[in-house]
Structure 1
């Protein structure tokens, strides 16, 4: 279980380091951080550079001014200027956002939005709310959830305001499991589904997809078990068909395709959903996207991630290669060779589609994937992520197709893998697995002798 402390406890520790140990403020701060981290305390939400009292008072005064303007219903330029001033303060950092939150900025902003039925004021209010709650989602309460749902349900709502409300909703979900559950339980999935149509403005669709992904995050270290899988199951069941329809409607628009690919990948938590994408013509659409945006590293990277996710279904994995994915994957790896993230994703996808599937491995082999894998290893000789993914790909390519080993060895892959063993100790298992399946002089190290010793994993060379 992760240990947490209050801001007050942290501040007192810094103060004691100054008063008792005679350290400077900078040294006292550094020492306090070291002390708590050594104890396993999570300091993510702790302000490590507290503001001066003058700065804190300045933020409080801005919030109080907004409250006065709201109560007087003074709808002039002053309120917009003051909102922008508070947003600027919140944009400076977490210390300023915490100070604004303690001054009740959250409630004041909700009151302003509900008091002034004017687009500019409401737009500035939402932008300020987003700035206030970025990495500070704890402020959300039942009123905020109701605010989100009611405003998103309003069919007469301005698209720009809808986009900002969705953006704020996403910020409320990041790193906060309880917020995710409250928003999900308020039936936001039904609302999101309504946004996933070709008649909805692109920016609103993109934010709706972003909320979908935020609802399936598992990033709140304060919660031992979340509901990411359950949320993904429901969202996939309700929205997959609509998302697939969007993929066919927006074939030429790069940004929305990136969001669609990211969302589909996040939702592929069950084999049945991979099959559903296949049945809906998703493989043909994915192939078309990769061909259309062959020069977009972001599209290619996220397409490879989706391929890896879809490979979780054996039937779907087999269908890919009856639809020409071998040449598309090979060409995409070549076209994105200068992007390490895209290459890493591509090699991981190769590993996924060839796992226990010699037919796919043969198809990729015929598409000269061996040359491309070795070229990638040479080009990114210092990139551990590339070398690890390449090791997986090689292992799965040759494990059931031993005839391919000769080609890899001819290209000099053994020397490259041996160099990896010297440079990257923490991927030793992956590299030696590839060497073993290539038929190189590597044998499995005994992992457990049954004598009560520590469990170790790895390989050893015969001459070690």
Structure 2
């Protein structure tokens, strides 16, 4: 059930009432107002939880929040073409960076048209454009609905005109990303406007600039998201295909990865983006042919101490292992052993355990020979240890159950060995603790040869529903 929301004015009025009517100190009045609304089930995520300040010494009655003071000052400077516009933009950006509530309040007071106008005016002045884009990026963070046709045209124009400037390109891409997260229409409109070739070209052109590569990679990945609950069907798959087939995206990303062998932040984003692009069988093979698999295996071996990067490499390996030939290539390259090593090294990290089990699960699917390798290098034991270490993490439990099932689905040679490791008790615990583990847990127990109750779902026949 959605929580109730209130306006900033309502919240401020209660704070002011606490101060004026009940003689509370400002901090006490603020705390009391927050507790009052939260106890009523009100969502305060969009509320600036601060006491409004006096906006000027001349008018002590006029109290407003600092972000609105910054916005008002900026509007005045823009209207009078004052030299203080840049400084006002910086102050506004700083205020927006404090939190979503500040950005939301500014947007409610027509900040977007003002900031966009500043961007358009500064098109030919690099410093001014940089400051204005930073403000636009800060304002649109978490507020993709703000982008309109005029803003979209400006972004595409700026990306095109400023291709040679790494810093400005990076800022433009940052805005694009903010405007596309959880907003399918913006994604589709920007793709139609030609943002994909601009993003891939920025990686190629500025391949030596890690920030540009990283931002462009994230933006490309966002184009493949299906995260807008307001839209029944997105174009995530189509966008991924366009990036690969029309923009040669796989080669661009693999080459960028080779250009930054020591930068874990960039490599993490590149691997995450590759995972999103491996949506077809031939794309998985293309990544191998481009040297992507060899690079990932080397990267995993060299970066075992970096859990964030390990997680993304495991995710990428899982994605490309959707191709049966690539499964064998990964195992033949020593991938299974490295995955198990990564899991054992970071057993306390639930995400690494989840991605490791998931990768091994895909490698084992329909591949008895791969199952043998996984068993020999301790894959089943690592998965069971992960289940034991993270009993409350449903995804760890699910992926581990699926791995155990795949290891014995085609051949029962390993069933007894896995059971001797304590699999039955751990799977039963997962079944009891997590409803989502029901199907995969029972399937694992069944294929391991354990006694399991398999209830037939109601088919609409033979009487009524039974619980």
The TM-score with structure 2 as length reference comes to 0.83
Which whole-Å CA distance do the structure 2 matches of 1:340 and 1:4 have between them? 30
Equivalent position to 1:313, from 291, 307, 323:
323
Q: Which residue of structure 2 aligns with residue 435 of structure 1? A: 445
Label 1:438 to 1:185 Cα distance change in 2 as closer, same or farther (>3 A).
same
Specify every segment of 5 or more residues in structure 2 that has no aligned partner in the other structure, as ranges: 15-31, 53-61
Give how far 1:187 is off. 0.7
Q: Which moved more, 1:336-345 or 1:323-332?
A: 323-332
| 1:119 to partner: Cα distance | 4.2
Aligned twin of 1:349: 359
Query: What is the aligned partner in structure 2 of residue 301 from structure 1?
Result: 311
**Cα RMSD after superposing both structures:** 3.2
Matching residue of 2:224: 216
Deviation at 1:265, TM superposition (A): 0.7
**1:229 counterpart = 2:237:** yes
Question: Are the aligned partners of 2:120 and 2:154 in contact in 1 as well (CA < 8 Å)?
Answer: no
In structure 2, what is the Cα distance between the partners aligned to 1:453 and 1:92? 57
Q: Secondary structure at the match of 2:224?
A: coil
User: Residue 20 of structure 1 corresponds to which residue in structure 2?
Assistant: none
- Tell me the equivalent position of 1:132: 139
Query: Is 1:195–2:198 an aligned residue pair?
Result: no
1:49 Cα deviation (Å)?
Answer: 7.0
Greater mean deviation of Cα atoms: 134-143 or 367-376:
367-376
Contact preservation (8 Å) 2:311, 2:351: yes
- Does the Cα contact within 8 Å between 1:308 and 1:349 map onto a contact in 2? yes
Compared with structure 1, are the counterparts of its residues 83 and 33 closer, same or farther at alpha carbon in structure 2 (3 Å cutoff)?
A: same
Q: Deviations for 1:241-280, whole angstroms, at most 9, x for unmatched residues?
A: 1112222332222111101101011112222211221222
Relative to structure 1, is the Cα distance of residues 7 and 452 closer, same or farther in structure 2, using a 3 angstrom cutoff? Answer: farther
The match for 2:160 among 129, 144, 153 is 153
Which range moves more in the overlay, 357-366 or 424-433? Answer: 424-433
Matched, 1:104 2:110: yes
2:422 to 407, 412, 420: 412
Q: Decide which moves more: 291-300 or 416-425.
A: 416-425
**Cα separation, partners in 2 of 1:115 and 1:300, compared to 1, 3 Å:** same
The answer (yes or no) to whether the contact 1:56–1:96 under 8 Å persists in 2 is no
On the 8 A contact 1:97/1:132 being kept in 2, the answer is: yes
What's the TM-score, normalizing by structure 1?
0.84
Contact 2:445 2:451 in 1 (8 A): yes
- Aligned pairs for 1:62-461 within 5 A: 62-75=70-83, 78-116=84-122, 117-155=124-162, 157-197=164-204, 199-237=207-245, 238=247, 239-448=249-458, 450-451=461-462, 453-454=464-465
Counterpart contact for 1:63–1:100, Cα < 8 Å: yes
**1: CA distance, partners of 2:40 / 2:227:** 25
CA pair 438-179 structure 1, distance change in 2 beyond 3 A: same
1:17-36 aligned within 5 A: 29=37
The worse-fitting range, judged by mean Cα deviation, of 281-290 and 257-266 is 281-290
Number of residue-to-residue matches in the alignment: 436
Q: Distance in 1 between matches of 2:371 and 2:169?
A: 47
How much has 1:301 moved relative to structure 2? 0.9
Q: Distance in 1 between matches of 2:412 and 2:354?
A: 24
- Distance of aligned partners of 1:455 and 1:271 in 2 relative to their CA distance in 1, 3 Å threshold: farther
Question: In 2, are the aligned partners of 1:351 and 1:393 still within 8 Å (CA)?
Answer: yes
Query: 8 Å contact 1:151–1:157 — kept in the other structure?
Result: no
Superposed CA deviations along residues 288-337 of structure 1, whole A, max 9, x for unmatched, are: 11111111111211111112211222222232222222222222222222
Report the CA distance shift for 1:47/1:327 in structure 2 as closer, same or farther (over 3 A): closer
Q: Matches of 2:99 and 2:86 in 1, distance apart? A: 21
1:126, 1:205 → 2: CA distance? 18
**Unaligned residue ranges in structure 1 (runs of 5+):** 16-23, 35-42, 457-464
SS of equivalent to 1:196: helix
Q: Deviations over 1:346-384 (max 9, x none)?
A: 011111111222121112112122222222223323433
Separation in 1 of the partners of 2:290 and 2:164?
A: 32
Distance in 1 between residues matched to 2:237 and 2:382, nearest whole Å: 35
Structure 1 pair 28/452, CA: closer, same or farther in 2 (3 Å)?
Answer: farther
Distance in 2 of aligned mates of 1:370 and 1:94: 44
Deviation at 1:394, TM superposition (A): 0.5
